Chains A and B, each alone.
Chain A
Amino acid sequence: MIPIEFFLMFSAILFVIGIYGIMTKNNAIVVLMCIELVLNAANINLVAFAAYNGDIMGQVFVVFTVAVAACEVAVGIAILLNAYKMKKTTVIDDLTELRW
């Protein structure tokens, strides 16, 4: 059996990649994708601990999380579509209307 540390390490790496993408990428679609990476990093942790402890609850949570993530992406893409309609761009640096 693969030790739990491998899963945790993998999840951490995935998380950091996601965060890095959110903070640096300029394209809103890529940022949304990176958010999915961060979410899935959390999902891996849940699944890993569920298997490790023999507790089915963790896997149930993951099913919920996947459903929520799907909704969230739908909303996010909808917003981006509208933003694109208005501004003809999905570059984050150009979408800075709501500020001081």
Chain B
Amino acid sequence: MFIEYTWLIPVIPLIFFVIIGLTGNKTPKEGGIIAIIGALASLVLSVLVVYEFLTGPAYNGGVGYVTDAVTWFSIPGGFTLTLGYYVDGLTCVMLMFSSLISLLIFIYSIGYMHDQGKRNRRYFAEVSLFLAGMLGLIISNNYLMTFVFWEIMGLCSYLLIGFWSFRHPEGDVASDNAASAAKKAFIVTRLGDVSFMGGLFVLLYAFQSLDYVNLFDPAAIAAVDTNLIVLATLLLFGGAIGKSAQFPLQDWLPDAMAGPTTVSALIHAATMVKAGVYLVARSYPLFVQSADVMLLVGLIGGITAILAASMALNNMNIKKVLAYSTISQLGYMIMALGAGGYMMAIGMKEGNTALIAAGAAGYTAGVFHMFNHAFFKALLFLGSGSVIHSCGTEDMREMGGLGKKMKWTSITMLIGSMSIAGFPFFSGFWSKDLVLESVMKASEFGPEGYIFMIIWILGVVTAFMTAFYMFRMWYMTFAGPEGHATEHSHGESPSTMTVPLMLLSIFAFGSGFLILFGLDGIITISPDSITGAFIVGMHEGHGAVHYIEELFTNPYTYLTIVLALLGIYIAYLMYSKFSVNPGRFNREGESRLYKALEKRWWFPQLYDWISWKFGYGIAKGVDYFDRNVIDGTVNGLSGSVVGSGESAKYVQTGNVGNYASIVMIGVAAVFVAALILIYYMGGM
């Protein structure tokens, strides 16, 4: 009944984008109300679609998905590209949290952006388009449509990160101003997008189609050369690396903090960076064809997690700490998907159903962490936005003691911090421990399993660091003596901002419990026992007992809890009680490690170096070729024509006698030639 209208979910915000863009200044709140109505309509329709799907026949014993499409265009030779929707368990979960969080962020924006005046029309139009991009990506039924919406999001992130493009407070490098940061985000993610597009070409060549239904068909997969699938999945993963800010393309995300805080919340929680993880989760049937690819996926996730967490340890900017934590948490998701896929790939090769089930648990852990992360990261970003709104600065050294002035913000931020730190029973605890458990389990299988042991160690260290830097942030902002900015702060933010914070804090605390009540049944993936087709969802959840037993009989869970508490305690000692001076560990900011972290492990320099040496070098070579070879050929040709004309024009003397002479000489020459010809032909 509603599921036939799934296509409307992204179309509604798209229409509202046009309406706000055209008439925004004449509507209440410069289009803000319209944007909220659009997000609300999408949310309501999403809820209806999800409800109908989960109670419908397809999900309960059917094929596990509902899809429909219209032909977009066909290419002679048998390729038909379609536009349509594809609803399964993963789609449902993504739809729910994307539209819900976007709605809350839009409401919050009314308060946060109130002083932007006419520029709000641009803001609300672009966030509506952003939401349309994400929702369209989620419901796409084929890779090309996914790619189109993927690019729409790339465009919107560029526009929104550069929202304050006219400000040049400190300089021209990407970390200092919005215009350069937007350009950097666009160009760095573009690298991933090119890779994604390459993957599409390989898939189109191998499968003659880009529809999920055809690509995930086990018979089709079996008919295609595995090497082609490996190539395609590696290229697709390159796209995910760019979009989800994984190592080595992670460096655009911290700079993207130049945009408004609400945009950061939107990018980090509901849209954009989740698209990369979604792509890997969506392409699971292809990814699990090779255990090696999954090993690489897990490894990239592990490296990203610890690299980003380390950079958050000493950052003084409240938003950048959160940005690094996002990258780090995305690393967790990718890590879990890699570990699960690794086990599933080996399990499918050996026909080991227990191993396939363990792989499915890894998939669940990754998607579940994405789900939880969406809530607590939206909460944290909106909370930091509230702090910035009140203090007028992003530097945590100037804050401190805000807890008394901003009660609601401090409490909700505390809930978000506890959740991301993995404090027991908060949402982050459930998913993070499931992720680590899956990685641990993956280390027992296959010849390269020991690599997952390393990834696990990286993950555990990251968990400790996460607890430390999140509470460092919280204590520096809300506890301790009042800082310079605190004294001048406006106090608590208006209720349009605090109410979304409260709602999100409920989710940030409670979303983890959903796994105990059957959410895992919706976001699992497994090959059907008869046909071998991959089905997302359609399982009974393992239930509360299973997870509580699994987590609390596992000694490593206690290890992570202890490490998280230890991290919180150290942060407390250093930044609230001041009994331990953090300068002791880094020689007052002079140690090499500290400087390396401040310089972000030299990644910006590396990007610059690559751009200057390779990018600029190639550009110079191409420029030389263009100017000298191509332009040279064209100019040379035209020059020779002009030159020969210039020299031959003097034949035109204007003297009739000369012309007559030339005609006569010509006639005589023809006559003589004819005579010679006749002579040699033997005539006359």
Q: Is the CB of A23 within 8 A of B655?
A: no
CA distance A98 to B655 in the complex (A): 9
- 30 contacts across the A-B interface (CB closer than 8 A): A19-B664, A22-B657, A22-B660, A22-B664, A23-B657, A23-B660, A23-B664, A24-B657, A25-B657, A26-B657, A28-B656, A31-B656, A31-B657, A92-B655, A92-B656, A92-B657, A93-B655, A95-B654, A95-B656, A96-B653, A96-B654, A96-B655, A97-B654, A99-B652, A99-B653, A99-B654, A100-B649, A100-B650, A100-B652, A100-B654
CA distance A59 to B657 in the complex (A): 32
Interface residues on B, range: 10 to 19
- B664 nearest in chain A by CB position: A19
Tell me the minimal C-beta distance from A90 to chain B in angstroms. Answer: 11
Chain B residues near A28 (CB-CB < 8 A)? 656
CB interface residues, B 385-412, toward A, < 8 Å: none
Chain A residues near B116 (CB-CB < 8 A)? none
Binary per-residue interface labels of chain B (633-661) against chain A in the complex, 1 for a CB within 8 Å, 0 otherwise:
00000000000000001101111110011
Tell me the minimal C-beta distance from B203 to chain A in angstroms. Answer: 64
CB interface residues, A 1-47, toward B, < 8 Å: 19, 22-26, 28, 31
Chain B residues near A31 (CB-CB < 8 A)? 656-657
Q: Is the interface of B mostly helix, strand, loop or mixed?
A: helix
CA distance A26 to B660 in the complex (A): 13
CA distance A31 to B650 in the complex (A): 23
- A26 nearest in chain B by CB position: B657
CB interface residues, A 77-100, toward B, < 8 Å: 92-93, 95-100
Chain A residues near B654 (CB-CB < 8 A)? 95-100
Binary per-residue interface labels of chain B (544-566) against chain A in the complex, 1 for a CB within 8 Å, 0 otherwise:
00000000000000000000000
4 tightest A-B CB contacts, nearest first: A99-B654, A96-B654, A100-B649, A99-B652
A-B contacts besides A96-B653, A99-B652, 13 pairs, CB < 8 Å: A19-B664, A22-B657, A23-B657, A25-B657, A31-B656, A92-B657, A95-B654, A95-B656, A96-B655, A99-B653, A99-B654, A100-B650, A100-B654
Chain A residues near B650 (CB-CB < 8 A)? 100
Tell me the minimal C-beta distance from A72 to chain B in angstroms. Answer: 15
CA distance A55 to B192 in the complex (A): 91
Q: Is the CB of A23 within 8 A of B656?
A: no
Tell me the minimal C-beta distance from B663 to chain A in angstroms. Answer: 9
CA distance A96 to B652 in the complex (A): 10
Chain B residues near A26 (CB-CB < 8 A)? 657
CB interface residues, B 493-548, toward A, < 8 Å: none
Q: Is the CB of A23 within 8 A of B649?
A: no
Chain A residues near B660 (CB-CB < 8 A)? 22-23
- A96 nearest in chain B by CB position: B654
- A22 nearest in chain B by CB position: B660
CA distance A23 to B380 in the complex (A): 101
- A35 nearest in chain B by CB position: B660
- B656 nearest in chain A by CB position: A92
CA distance A23 to B653 in the complex (A): 14
CA distance A89 to B352 in the complex (A): 112
Q: Name the residue among B650, B660, B664 with the largest chain A CB count within 10 angstroms.
A: B660
Chain A residues near B657 (CB-CB < 8 A)? 22-26, 31, 92
CA distance A71 to B536 in the complex (A): 97
Tell me the minimal C-beta distance from B148 to chain A in angstroms. Answer: 60
Q: Is the CB of B661 within 8 A of A23?
A: yes
- A25 nearest in chain B by CB position: B657
Tell me the minimal C-beta distance from A84 to chain B in angstroms. Answer: 15
Tell me the minimal C-beta distance from B658 to chain A in angstroms. Answer: 9
